Amino acid sequence: MTDSTPSEKLSSVENEYIDEKNLPNNTTVALAEDDIQVEPILSTIISPNGNEVIVNLAHGDQALQFAREAENIEVTPEQDRKLCLKIDMCMFPLMCLIYAAQFMDKIATGSAAVMGLREDLHMKGKQYSWVGSAFYFGYLFMNLGPVQLIFQKSKHMSKMLAIFIVVWGIILTCHAAPTVNYAAFIALRVLLGCAESVVTPCFTIITAQYWKTSEQFARISIWFGMNGLGSIILNAMAFGIYIHKDSYHIKAWRLLFVVIGVITIFLGILIFLWIPDNPSNARFLSRREKLMVVHRIKSNQQGFGNHEIKRYQIIEALKDIRTWLYFAFTVSSNIPNGGISNFISILFHTDFGYNTRDTLLMGIPTGAVELVGCPLFGILCVYCANKKIPFWQHRLTWAIFAAVLALIASCMLGFAHKSKGARLGGAYLWYISPVSFICVLSNISANSSGYTKKWTVSSINLVAYAAANLAGPQTFIPNQAPGYQGAKIAMVVCYACMIVILSVLLFINIRENKRRDKLQAEMGGAEKLENLEFADCTDFENPNFRYTL
């Protein structure tokens, strides 16, 4: 490693690959924003691919302003556990409620469909399928670039998130307005997709800011599992509204949209008032606790974030095979998700033969399975990792196991024609399938280093999510009602592909970690550059980085 001072040429370089050698020595520079002295600005390291990389700490992570001070504190394991619990208690309840609300908002059309939505808006043929798909047109558009541009550039990520949440709550209440105007309802679904597209990427970034890599899968499993809570609340609410439908001055399905829209607006205001933009301005943390957060996330080889969009990191994300494995996985997992989310109530109503009242009740156990199953898998994964149980200590192993269960559930739902009970069991077991998607979200959080790269990989993954969920409802072809056999076969094929993709991802990460361990041993140990963790290096650049399995 060679310390260096920037020449006029090098002062404009930010973490880019170079061939120059014998750089001059020693400099001190101030970080303009925080007046923090960082020494040196420029150093070189050797990447795992054998390239010389200039590390410019002046363009590093926000956590750098605390890094030097954090080195001087001692944190006992007990203090670290108490801090982790405090963060959980202060951040998690509101995050979980928001994620439950966004799922309520997303699937409300399913309950509304059996409460009279289709009849009142005179939907015919595949028009209802496009109601489900329209949401993801907006979601797709926003993740093609606007989400990353808005939120990476913003120094107030949580405040921007809160504004988007309030806006989508307002849009949702407007769903009650269209009378016979199908086009207006479709337009509202597109706008809702635009607004809701920000939640998952923002929550993924927030999780990486506060929790260690080893803790992230369990946390994402919990807040993502709140989709189940949202499903329970929505179905219970829809049932209550439906059985009293004659007591209202508006149609029951319209009232459903108004109620959940108002709930969403209220939660958005709470996000604005409480959730910090990053740990450095968390009002519930003392100065020492903020330093402890910096200390505890050093092992992630990542920090709080960086507001500078770095072109080379975008290019690296596009070249990374993991990006496209995530993409392929997400397409495979969310084609079934897009169909079932919008059609499960209709399947209960038409394929299983339940009346409207019972259909709304039968939707409640689907949420219970997801609410219990997703966090349970996350907890089991953490337990096995702590006990170092071979094979099962890897989160990707649990993702493969969940994909196998989803494949079995799809076969039960699609091919157990003579047993209504087996088909119903398959419909409920299917709600374990999000565990695999949770694993990929946690892999993006833990394994995509470099703030611009992380946002880019997350955005590409969510483009796949939107495109697949857009296509999902189209697999439910009207002339195949009430069984929709083609959609069920598509689910089986998708989950079989998922298992293969996850296995390839696990193999690639294991092989790369072994290669890096061998290379580091040959070079005499880990790279010792001070605060390299907070230099905003990518996983391709940082020789100390290891992929989470």
Residue 322 has pLDDT above 60, yes or no: yes
Residue 399 has pLDDT above 50, yes or no: yes
E strand or H helix that includes residue 475 = none
Are 270 and 178 members of one domain?
A: yes
Residue 225 has pLDDT above 70, yes or no: yes
The reported pLDDT for the residue numbered 264 is 93
E strand or H helix that includes residue 272 = helix 252-274
Q: CATH number, domain at 321?
A: 1.20.1250.20
Query: What's the number of CA atoms in the CB half-sphere (13 Å) around residue 252?
Result: 22
User: Which pLDDT tens digit goes with each residue over 132-158?
Assistant: 788 888 888 888 878 878 887 777 888
The reported pLDDT for the residue numbered 85 is 92
Lowest mean per-residue pLDDT among 33-42, 74-83, 197-206: 33-42
What residues form DSSP beta bridges with 38? 29
d(C-alpha 339, C-alpha 527), whole Å: 48
The reported pLDDT for the residue numbered 26 is 35
Judge contact between 301 and 542, C-beta under 8 A: yes
Judge whether 544 lies within some domain.
no
Residue 218 has pLDDT above 90, yes or no: no
How much is the mean pLDDT over the chain?
81
- For the chain, what is the total number of helices (H) and then of strands (E)? 20, 6
Nearest to 344 by CA among 155, 143, 487, 539: 487
Residue 524 has pLDDT above 90, yes or no: no
d(C-alpha 295, C-alpha 70), whole Å: 6
Give mean pLDDT, residues 73-95: 89
Are 415 and 498 members of one domain?
A: yes
If you write DSSP's letter for every residue of 173-186 in order, what string do you get?
Answer: HGGG--SS-HHHHH
Nearest to 304 by CA among 338, 277, 267, 331: 277
Judge contact between 244 and 250, C-beta under 8 A: no
Are 296 and 396 members of one domain?
A: yes
Are 501 and 530 members of one domain?
A: no
In the chain, the percentage of residues whose pLDDT exceeds 90 is 20
Judge whether 547 lies within some domain.
no
The reported pLDDT for the residue numbered 224 is 85
Give mean pLDDT, residues 388-417: 88
d(C-alpha 146, C-alpha 539), whole Å: 24
| Number of domain units in the chain | 2
How does residue 214 score in pLDDT terms, banded at 50, 70 and 90? confident
Judge whether 548 lies within some domain.
no
| Residue 419 vs residue 324, higher pLDDT | 324
Judge whether 374 lies within some domain.
yes
Q: Are strands 52-56 and 42-46 parallel, antiparallel or unpaired?
A: antiparallel
E strand or H helix that includes residue 470 = helix 451-471
If you write DSSP's letter for every residue of 300-330 in order, what string do you get?
Answer: GT--S---S--HHHHHHHHH-HHHHHHHHHH
The reported pLDDT for the residue numbered 62 is 59
Q: Write the CA distances from 5 to 11, 24, 42, 255, integer angstroms.
A: 8, 6, 6, 65
User: Which pLDDT tens digit goes with each residue over 12-44?
Assistant: 333 333 333 333 333 323 333 343 444 445 577
Give mean pLDDT, residues 381-404: 88
User: Which pLDDT tens digit goes with each residue over 229-249?
Assistant: 888 898 888 888 888 888 888
d(C-alpha 427, C-alpha 488), whole Å: 11
Give mean pLDDT, residues 469-493: 84
Token duo for residue 446: 């833990």
Residue 109 has pLDDT above 50, yes or no: yes
Residue 116 has pLDDT above 50, yes or no: yes
Judge whether 259 lies within some domain.
yes
Nearest to 413 by CA among 339, 355, 466, 465: 339
Lowest mean per-residue pLDDT among 39-48, 157-166, 204-213, 320-329: 39-48
Are 163 and 182 members of one domain?
A: yes
Instruction: Quickly count: other Cβ atoms within 10 Å of residue 58's Cβ.
Output: 19
**45: helix, coil or strand?**
strand
Q: Which long-range contacts (CB under 8 A, 24 or more apart) does 169-174 make?
A: 169/261, 169/262, 169/263, 169/264, 169/265, 169/266, 169/267, 169/268, 170/261, 170/265, 171/195, 171/261, 172/105, 172/108, 172/257, 172/260, 172/261, 172/264, 173/257, 173/258, 173/261, 173/262, 173/265, 174/261
Helix%, strand%, coil% for the chain, nearest 5? 70, 5, 25
Residue 343 has pLDDT above 50, yes or no: yes
User: Which pLDDT tens digit goes with each residue over 378-388?
Assistant: 888 888 888 88
Judge whether 540 lies within some domain.
no
How buried is residue 138: exposed, middle or buried, by Cβ count under 10 Å (0-12/13-18/19+)?
buried
The reported pLDDT for the residue numbered 495 is 92
Are 62 and 179 members of one domain?
A: no
Are 63 and 192 members of one domain?
A: no
Give mean pLDDT, residues 439-457: 85
Q: Are strands 52-56 and 36-38 parallel, antiparallel or unpaired?
A: unpaired
Judge whether 340 lies within some domain.
yes
Nearest to 395 by CA among 506, 484, 498, 298: 506
Q: Are strands 42-46 and 3-4 parallel, antiparallel or unpaired?
A: antiparallel
Are 114 and 31 members of one domain?
A: no
Determine phi and psi for 4, rounding to 5 degrees: -150, 155
Judge whether 542 lies within some domain.
no
Phi-psi region of 30 (alpha: psi -120 to 50; beta: other; left: phi over 0): beta
E strand or H helix that includes residue 540 = none
d(C-alpha 4, C-alpha 42), whole Å: 5
User: Which pLDDT tens digit goes with each residue over 257-281?
Assistant: 999 999 999 999 999 998 888 888 8
d(C-alpha 130, C-alpha 452), whole Å: 34
Give mean pLDDT, residues 509-527: 85
Are 63 and 183 members of one domain?
A: no
Are 518 and 528 members of one domain?
A: no
Token duo for residue 169: 């709550």
The reported pLDDT for the residue numbered 302 is 67
- ∠95-99-102 over CA atoms, to 5°? 140
Token duo for residue 471: 């296509």
Instruction: Quickly count: other Cβ atoms within 10 Å of residue 471's Cβ.
Output: 17
Q: Give the domain extent around 489.
A: 77-522
How does residue 9 score in pLDDT terms, banded at 50, 70 and 90? very low
Are 106 and 22 members of one domain?
A: no
The reported pLDDT for the residue numbered 427 is 86
d(C-alpha 83, C-alpha 293), whole Å: 8
Are 517 and 528 members of one domain?
A: no
The reported pLDDT for the residue numbered 385 is 83
Instruction: Quickly count: other Cβ atoms within 10 Å of residue 248's Cβ.
Output: 11
